Amino acid sequence: MLPQWMLILSVFGFLILVIWIGRITSKWIESSSDFFVTGREISLLINACAIGGIGLSASVVAAMPMFSITLGFWPSFLFYGSMWAVAVIIYGLTIGGFIRRTGAYTISEWLGMRLSTNTRIICATCQLLGTISVMAANIAGISAVLVPVTGYPYVLNVLAITGTFLVYTFLGGMWAVTIVDVAHIIIGMPAYYIVISLLLAKTNFLANLPGADWRLYSLTGHMPLFRLTFPSMITMGLTWLVFVFGSQYYWIRLTSARSERGAIGGAVWGGVGAMIFILGPLALLGLFALDLIPGQWAPAQAWGQLVGHSLSSVMAVWMIVAVLGASMSTASTALMGTSSTAMRDFYQRFFRPKATPQELINPSRVAVLAAGALTALLAIFYPGGAAWLLAVAAAWFGPPAVILVLTIYWPRITPTGSFAGIIVGLIATVAWQLGPYWQTTMHMIWVAVGVTLAVTAVVSFLTQSELGRESLTTELDEYHRQLMSLLRQGRTTLGAVVDGMKVDGERIYHYLQYLMDMGYVKREGKTRLAQVTFSLTSKGNDMLPPLSTEEELSARFALTPADAAILKYIATTNDFDAASLSKASGVAKSNINQNIIHLVTHGYLLEAGLWRRTVKASPQGREIVNKLSI
């Protein structure tokens, strides 16, 4: 057993660190946008570290050594760990840019835009159930592996860890979560590599493996390839694809990125980095535990047994702090996914539709606390541990994943088809999970995907007339005109419009649908990025007041006078202070970020900065300033 004073001092020091991070980042929170999506400021490198760091999450730390013992090293590394990394890479390459361009905070919000409120509600329900399961998986994982190390009861570990990550998430929102994500990579990765080097130097675990054949048949393992139960190669592959594509956990990561490039690159490089640097060492720990720890202990405790009985006190404490940080950072990202769904899809959508981002900060923090309490209860009472909680979470994400992919790539999906598909898929998944067959015949992930896809396709084909329906709105109002003004200003993506108007995305989509029905606005296409890119028609332009001389000059370069003032100020002073920019342009300090994103998108500003965005005028931007000054 580790010296209690050393363990308590180290863990307490780490907890103080993450709470301090929450306190510092709380000063960056001026709106719900800052709280949930960091004002869309996360850089590619930080996003890649945060996403890749999921490979060090407590649920994976607990599961990969366990699967190395029960299934073999290669099944653990290739079919459990690497399949997750590949799913993340596919996610970034196929829909990463799309996610960033929608501007939607949640998957459910996008489905409400594209399809219907009913579909949004059911999807949000799936997200809440799934992301709470993800959080519980991480808390259950770290709590289980810490039991043999600390000697503290499992329930006490659950409550202590949940309480800590609730504090810093409550204070700093997604900013605090992101910085802790990077901190746990910096702390954790060196520890794992040093431990593996030390263990390799003192043991010949490959030669000793046959003596442990009560749990491991061979290094290559014996995982079934095409069995429909969990675990098997094909079921694990589908599970990870559904988990990534259908999870609010990953969506909110990419929608927080500075740009489409940052969203795509963050997912791709995060997956590649995890595969190369993280997942192999985790699988090896199971083999070391087999060689070094006598007796027939539970495979799920492999990490804890190894740390508690085979490492020096200093290295053991370092490993505990590393996995504690990984657990809290991963769980807190899922917590942000849960609370953003609760806030954006339920509270704001139905109770405070006209609330400003500033008015939503405190309700957002309340949502964080409520989700954390539910997580602790699930981690304590759900049987099966971390690996099974992840598998169950993936099943909840099945119906949303299917509907999401169809909305992007299949223009013939209808609101009725999606609603029927997701609700029947959800009912079928729950019913199957309550019975015994998901463990012996077919995992519920197959039910979730198969039923949702079949019902959605059939009902959509039967309700194609819905695709020609016009918007229920009957006249132009201030929101329609504001939206057309944004399009005239060059804010042509759905994300730019959502951020510019600061109201629920579903409402904005209805306004756009009416404007398209009236011929005032046109959409580039019906699938992929084209369906979330719009432009103002000449008829729509005629509905707006004529531009002033200054506005007309700026509009030639897709700028407003405020954009031009900000660009000029940055080009001439190299000052990026929000208060100074607000004074120079007349734009509210909390809204400056939208102008900056627009100028970066058009190439007038070059952005940098590891944490917060910094910018400088590009050569093209300086040329525009000169033209506007003539």
Q: The domain spanning residue 504 has which CATH number?
A: 1.10.10.10
522 and 625 together in one domain:
no
Q: Are strands 521-523 and 605-608 parallel, antiparallel or unpaired?
A: unpaired
pLDDT reported for residue 209 = 54
pLDDT reported for residue 213 = 46
Q: Outline where 151-212 has alpha helix (H).
A: 154-202, 205-208
pTM of the model: 0.85
Burial class (CB in 10 A: 0-12, 13-18, 19+), 215: middle
Q: Is residue 446 a part of any domain in this protein?
A: no
Q: How far apart are CA 21 and CA 43, in angstroms?
A: 18
Question: 569 with 580: CB under 8 angstroms?
Answer: yes
Which residue segment(s) compose the domain that 611 sits in?
549-629
Burial class (CB in 10 A: 0-12, 13-18, 19+), 591: middle
Q: Give the HSE-up count for residue 393: Cα atoms under 13 Å, Cβ half-sphere.
A: 33
pLDDT reported for residue 265 = 93
114 and 10 together in one domain:
yes
Question: 533 with 514: CB under 8 angstroms?
Answer: no
356 and 498 together in one domain:
no
71 and 103 together in one domain:
yes
Question: 328 with 125: CB under 8 angstroms?
Answer: no
**Structure token digits, residue 38:** 């960091």
**Structure token digits, residue 307:** 């740390």
**Alpha-carbon distance values, 518 to 512, 525, 569 (Å):** 10, 17, 39
33 and 115 together in one domain:
yes
Q: The domain spanning residue 97 has which CATH number?
A: 1.20.1730.10
Question: 85 with 295: CB under 8 angstroms?
Answer: no
Cα–Cα nearest to 426, from 414, 438, 444 = 444
23 and 142 together in one domain:
yes
Domain boundary among 358, 383, 408: 383
323 and 376 together in one domain:
yes
527 and 578 together in one domain:
no
Residues of the chain short of pLDDT 50, as ranges, are 210-217
Q: Is residue 114 a part of any domain in this protein?
A: yes
**Structure token digits, residue 485:** 């003004």
Residue type (1 letter), 142: I
Q: Is residue 467 a part of any domain in this protein?
A: no
**Structure token digits, residue 609:** 């900065």
205 and 298 together in one domain:
yes
Q: How far apart are CA 139 and CA 134, in angstroms?
A: 9
pLDDT reported for residue 408 = 93
pLDDT reported for residue 418 = 93
pLDDT reported for residue 474 = 54
Q: Is residue 468 a part of any domain in this protein?
A: no
Length of the chain, please? 630
pLDDT reported for residue 456 = 95
Assign residue 537 a region: left if phi > 0, alpha if psi is -120 to 50, beta otherwise? beta
pLDDT reported for residue 271 = 92
202 and 68 together in one domain:
yes
Cα–Cα nearest to 223, from 235, 213, 211, 232 = 232
Q: Is residue 443 a part of any domain in this protein?
A: no
Cα of first residue to Cα of last residue in the chain, in angstroms, is 76
Q: How many domains does the chain have?
A: 3
499 and 558 together in one domain:
no
Domain boundary among 542, 568, 591: 542
609 and 483 together in one domain:
no
Domain boundary among 383, 415, 449: 383
Q: Is residue 399 a part of any domain in this protein?
A: no
Show Cβ contacts of residue 630 under 8 Å, excluding neighbours closer than 6 positions. Answer: none
Q: Is residue 448 a part of any domain in this protein?
A: no
Q: Is residue 435 a part of any domain in this protein?
A: no
DSSP 46-105: HHHHHHHGGGGSHHHHHHHHHHHHHT-HHIIIIIIIIHHHHHHHHHIIIIIHHHHHH--S
